[in-house]
Amino acid sequence: MIVADRWRLEERTATAEDLHASWPALVDAPECRAVALCRPVRPAVVLGSTQFGTDISPEVARAVGVDIVRRRSGGGAVVVTRHDPVWIDVWIPTGDQLWCDDVTRSFDWLGSIWRSALADVLGPEVGDGLRVARTVVDHPGRSTWASAICFAGVGLGEVTVNDGRKLVGLAQRRSRHGAWFHGACVVRWNPTALIDVLVADPVERASAIEELSSVAVGVGDLLDASTVLDETSDGAISTQHMGRPDEDDEASIGAAVEAAVIHRLLTLD
């Protein structure tokens, strides 16, 4: 563990269940700010605190080696793997200047941190279009999956691109000692992994994947979509897209996001 100014910084590697169940640093020093880079050792579908487990097929999950976990914070289901999404937890003790009694406004500062950090990674062309949600909204078109899947809806403090696609999801759980925030930033958006373990027939599954493909976007997707503009002979604009990177490239994108978020956090007053 590294202690920097007012922050305790650590990397936590465990199952998603253990990462959500407890955070020893909060027991050791609940009066200190803390940030953790979370790395699940196995893929997992993480359900929100109020979701029913019947939404998920345990048989399919076991067959593909995915754990089913329930967190204590609200929101919809999300798939977590070692590199995607980038998962960063933050602890703010009660009474800290970043603490906010109003739960509806308590995400604002953290959403702004994520937005600034991602703008650092993506550059001004893309970063200037990032937005922090200040009101409760759903994805444009109001996906029917918004209550079931984290990245199908947009909540307070969460980060989107300018067309409304969600990039960062936030959740929190509170105690008398402070607030434990979960932050998840997509590297590559692919709803198939989550829909595959939902209880749905093939027709419903295909429909869900089609609907959900446009509700969110990943940092890697945005980097891929950085276009090289070539003026053709007829004056039209053509674009060239990079191919999907391998796992090592996804890890490097995640590391860049982590470094940017940590830098922004540690430079806070």
Of 7, 71, 12, 66, nearest to 34 by C-alpha is: 7
Range name among 63-72, 152-161, 185-194, 258-267 with the lowest pLDDT average: 63-72
For residue 33, pLDDT over 70 is answered with: yes
Residue 9: strand pairing partners = 2, 35
For the stretch 232-246, pLDDT in tens is 333 332 223 333 444
Percent of the chain with pLDDT over 70: 84
pTM: 0.87
Domain that holds residue 215: 2-266
Helices (H), 141-186: none
Is a pLDDT exceeding 60 seen at residue 149?
A: yes
The CATH number covering residue 182 comes to: 3.30.930.10
Contact, 148 vs 76, CB < 8 A? yes
CB 27, CB 11: distance < 8 Å: no
Domain total of the chain: 1
Closest CA to 16 of 42, 49, 52, 47: 42
- Report in angstroms the alpha-carbon separations of 226 from 127, 217, 243: 12, 13, 12
